[in-house]
Amino acid sequence: MARILVTESIADRGLDQLRAAGHEVDVQEGLSPVKLLEAIKGAHALIIRSATKVTAEVLEAGSALIVVGRAGIGLDNVDVPAATRQGVMVVNAPQSNIISAAEQAMALLLASARNVPQASAALKNGKWERSKWEGVELHGKTIGIVGLGRVGALVAQRCLAFGMRLIAFDPFVSADRARAMGVEILPLDEVVRQSDFLSIHLPKTKETTGLIGADLLRTAKPDLRIINTARGGIVDEDALYQAIKDGRIAGAGLDVFNEEPCTDSALFTLPSVIVTPHLGASTREAQDKAGDTIAEMVQLALAGEFVPFAVNVGAAEASETVRPFLPLAERLGRLVHGLCHGVPAKLDIAYQGEIADYDVRILTLSVERGLLGAAETESVTFVNAPQLAEKRGMTVTDTKTAHSPDYRNMITIRTSCGHAIAGTLAGLRMEPRIVMVDDHDVEVPPSKHLLVVRNDDRPGMIGALGTTLAAHNVNISNMALGRSRAGRAALMVVATDGPVPAAALEALRAVPGISAVDAVDDGG
């Protein structure tokens, strides 16, 4: 059971999911930075939204932390590099509020175009001002979308339905892909210059902070309206205020601000600026989805399993083809530790078959995690495995080839300690199999306790092995025989029900014809 500290409002359904899994859910909302440093001590997981600042100091105080979960998308309130250095996984819920965020952008777009809040406020104050709040149609106008990711793509889809012309800036989206969405990709300055409306959908980074600044705004049309539901600070608020005040652009619809909460800004004094208090994800549906998703991600992280939405794992994506191989890769890593009786200086991992067409970096991390997990006293995660490998001076290389002569897919690991091992998933059930040890073809299910026996290729060796183990009350649960393709001595891989005692190992080594015996415990 783990202690999970929750510092902001999360949907009850997600928290109940964590409680049902047997975890202690400690809800302490509204903690000051000082009180957070105290509350984080002993917590294994921290769940937050956008208000809690997870600094390096907080992470250091949370020495037991395994995972920080952000119930939402943005992570500008989390020191992700510091978390990575400490081996703490950072996860978010990137798909939980994309529809709500896109709809909020559309709400601000329409409200800005038709002056809805201003007209509503005037009428409630007894003023019937039809001519004053004349607006513009969306149909036929050009909308520039800055960031054509999940939310930006949904906004594009909705704007297309309004009959708008779509242009966008996104250096990571190909022109062909954008064209299929009805969007023309242009440089940022050209997008700003041509747009009647500009909608921002970027993460906040060093590169995007202040991206929409005074220089770009000078090139804009005088009727440009800017919509920002992404993150405050991407649009330079001082430059935006001056541009609207001077009449160089028409207005803005803002849901996010450089500093939040924000209740006092020069922008609030401008009639053509519409503001909302960061409501992009504030729908019942988004809250439920965020709570459910982050609970699931935190549970996976605490269990040491693969976490799809981990942001500080070098390869957080795992396709449906690759994912079944994760347990096998980790197990092969543990078996390498047993074969080498420690951590080798170098690993060469080869991926053969269909999996070679996919991103297999997560499998390499799994091998490292298995190998180092068998060697380290501290917890080894997908986050800290590369750091621990580097600390031990271990280098890891991988290669991919679509050709696999014997199996549909195969993972082969060769080590600097002279040993090699390969595995695959066999049959319709995709059951793990060890199919090669030290260049001897074998086929045996992975087992916690394995013996690797090298022997002369002559009659009587199997019997001698069985008799010796029986004399020491060791039961054989599975066995595979392998001959070297190079014509070297035979090899037996024997799975046993329990660990083989040292006396039995010495007795085996004394059997004529047996040249080497290694007891391999995969730690699983």
User: To 10 degrees, the CA torsion angle through 152, 157, 159, 163?
Assistant: 150
- Rg, Å, the chain Cα set: 30
Is 278 one of the annotated active-site residues of the chain?
Answer: yes
The one catalytic residue among 184, 260, 317, 376: 260
Helix (H) or strand (E) holding 29: none
Amino acid at 112: S
CA 142, 143, 149, 154: dihedral to nearest 10 degrees?
A: -100
Q: How far apart are CA 363 and CA 344, in angstroms?
A: 18
Q: Which of 44, 231, 369, 449 is catalytic?
A: 231
Give the DSSP letter string of 432-447: EEEEEETTEEEEE---
Q: At 68, give phi and psi (nearest 5°).
A: -115, 125
d(CA 191, CA 193): 5
Alpha-carbon distance of 521 to 334, in angstroms, equals: 8
Query: Any idea what the Cα angle at residue 21 is, between residues 18 and 27, rounded to 5°?
Result: 30
Sign of CA dihedral 179, 181, 183, 187: negative
Residue located via tokens 């059971």: 1
Tell me if residue 368 is catalytic.
no
Exposure of 21 in the CB half-sphere (CA atoms within 13 A): 21
DSSP 330: H
Q: CB 178: neighbour CB atoms within 10 A?
A: 21
Greatest Cα pair distance, the chain, in angstroms, is 106
In angstroms, the CA 295 to CA 177 distance is 33
483 given a catalytic annotation: no
Tell me the C-alpha distance between 23 and 43, whole Å. 11
Measured over the CA atoms of residue 261, residue 265, residue 267 and residue 269, the dihedral's sign is positive
Q: How many CB atoms lie within 10 A of CB 452?
A: 24
Choosing from 278, 337, 414, 433, the catalytic residue is 278
CA 447, 453, 459, 465 torsion-angle sign: negative
Active site amino acids: 231, 260, 278
